[in-house]
Chains A and B, each alone.
Chain A
Amino acid sequence: MEVRIDTAACVGHGVCEALAPHIFEVDDQDKARLVAETLEEADRGDLENAVNQCPEQALRLIG
């Protein structure tokens, strides 16, 4: 399981961080990045929510 962040599309709404602060964070350049070192199967629900609710559709869940 892997999350790809399209940093060109991301504008830092921070919806992902609000939904899953243990996985995402918006940095000082207003881009989302991963804070979780590894993704657990238990995170799948949070990840799917973040992907579906990203207003710029900048997140993709693979696997």
Chain B
Amino acid sequence: MSTAGLVVVGAGLAGVRAVEGARRSGHTGAVTLLGTETDAPYDRPPLSKAFLTESAALKYLRTAESLRDELDVDLRLGETVTALDPATRTVTVGAQELPYAGLVIATGSTARRLPGMHGPGGVHTLRSHADAVALRSAVRPGSRVVVIGAGFIGSEFACSASHLGAHVTVLEAADVPLVRAVGTAMGEELGGLHGRHGIDVRCGAVVEAVIGEDTVEAVRLADGQMLPADVVLVGVGAAPVTEWLRGSGLTVEDGVVCDATLNAGAPGVYAAGDVARWYNPTFDRSMRLEHWTSAAEQGVIAGRNAAATGEPVTCEVVPYFWSDWVTDRIQFVGVPDSDEVVTVAGSAETGDLLALYRTGDRVTGALGVNQRRAVLRLRVMIGQRADWQEAVELARSTAVRRS
């Protein structure tokens, strides 16, 4: 009779890092990793970029063999967990009640949909391998592509589709793109980059309907304008996958609410990745992130803490994300809401923007376009809770200037 071990629900980046974190911390008991998708854990960022433009192969985070043989994991792909009962310490998988000693919730997020607009063929979202395969075969040279939402997924896909020879229009309901990600001033600044790449972005464009019976024909805007379309991508954000936790007693508020150790409020239960809303000590507040690096960082800590090989450790994260738009690399570190945003160097237009975000007398964020070196230095400073003036000086001395 085997004893209950570590169960990790969700086989994406956070789930894989949780398994690795548990093993590295010395956990020798059983480990079960469950994933709804049938692919071995794979890397998502390329799906909107090289996977489309270069027909790149799926990039695995770890193969099934590596998980089974090197990490001794019971890998169960294509299996969905439907319920959690913290009182009996079990999760429900099909007809099975699977016991756990430690649990990591890493179910990630799912692409949000627009009610009533996903009926006809040719309307897509982009999150999974299957989504990317469908888009790869749908976008052809000369295709008329309409992207709903000028966020990062929409922007990256627009760049890729344009690269493939499609005619791309991006529609954004807000007056400024990327406000949630980088704030108003810098959202406007970055929005200007698309023009440089030959992509038509229309802000304040509210979509009223997607027209077409079997296949999509056009997108109708609230002002009556019709945009003919062969392919529509709905890129309006992601929602944490928490439906299965209904009735578990865990607190869910746009993500599973966790403390600084990623504990979800029940003994042995931790969360990591897109699904986790945790208290981040670095910024003294709770947040939910949908970034690659934070999923990796949280995964390691949640796995270690759930395996209970030592005292729980806290998870301090300086958020970091990047987005590649044709040849421009946009990078953001920290948090976007601040008292002031100061442009230290360049502009998005000239491809050398560096801006700093101030909260009180601390530097709490930085945005760069092709400013890799400065941005990563600033990431370290933000983690050290560095002084504003010190950050401005560092930014001035490390920024690259193109003009």
Spell out A's residues near B (CB within 8 Å).
11-15, 17-18, 21, 26, 28, 30, 48-49, 52-53, 55, 57
Contact = CB atoms under 8 A, between A and B. Distances in A.
A26 B372 contact: yes
A14 B45 contact: no
Interface string B362-403: 000000000011011101100100000000000000000000
Given A13-B322, A13-B376, A52-B300, A18 B383 contact: yes
Interface of B: 17, 20, 24, 43, 45, 59, 61, 292-293, 296-297, 300, 318, 320, 322, 329, 331, 372-373, 375-377, 379-380, 383
A32 B144 CA distance: 40
Given A12-B372, A14-B373, A26-B373, A53 B297 contact: yes
Given A13-B322, A15-B320, A18-B383, A52 B376 contact: no
Given A15-B293, A18-B380, A49 B300 contact: yes
Nearest to B400: A28
A48 to B, nearest CB: 6
Given A52-B296, A53-B293, A55-B45, A17 B376 contact: yes
Contacts of A13: 320, 322, 331, 372, 376
Given A13-B322, A15-B293, A53-B293, A26 B376 contact: yes
Contacts of A17: 376, 380
B296 A53 contact: yes
Nearest to A48: B24
Nearest 3 A/B pairs, CB to CB: A14-B376, A12-B372, A53-B296
Nearest to A14: B376
Contacts of A26: 372-373, 376
Contacts of B383: 18
Contacts of B379: 14, 18
A48 B329 CA distance: 26
Contacts of B45: 55
B7 to A, nearest CB: 21
Which one of B296, B376, B379 has the greatest number of beta carbons of chain A within 10 Å? B376
Given A55-B45, A57-B61, 8 more contacts: A14-B373, A14-B375, A15-B293, A18-B383, A30-B372, A52-B17, A53-B296, A55-B292
A15 to B, nearest CB: 6
Given A52-B296, A55-B292, A21 B373 contact: no
Contacts of B293: 15, 53, 55
7 contacts: A12-B376, A14-B376, A18-B376, A21-B380, A28-B373, A52-B296, A53-B293
A25 to B, nearest CB: 10
A14 B292 CA distance: 14
Nearest to B297: A53
Contacts of B292: 55
Contacts of B318: 18
Contacts of A14: 372-373, 375-377, 379
Contacts of A49: 300
Contacts of A53: 293, 296-297
B110 to A, nearest CB: 22
Contacts of A48: 24
B26 to A, nearest CB: 13
A15 B376 CA distance: 7
Given A15-B293, A18-B379, A49-B300, A30 B20 contact: no
Contacts of A52: 17, 20, 296, 300
A4 B43 CA distance: 21
Nearest to A17: B376
Nearest to A54: B296
A7 to B, nearest CB: 15
A43 to B, nearest CB: 15
A26 B331 CA distance: 15
Which one of A26, A48, A55 has the greatest number of beta carbons of chain B within 10 Å? A55
B332 to A, nearest CB: 12
Contacts of A30: 372-373
A32 to B, nearest CB: 10
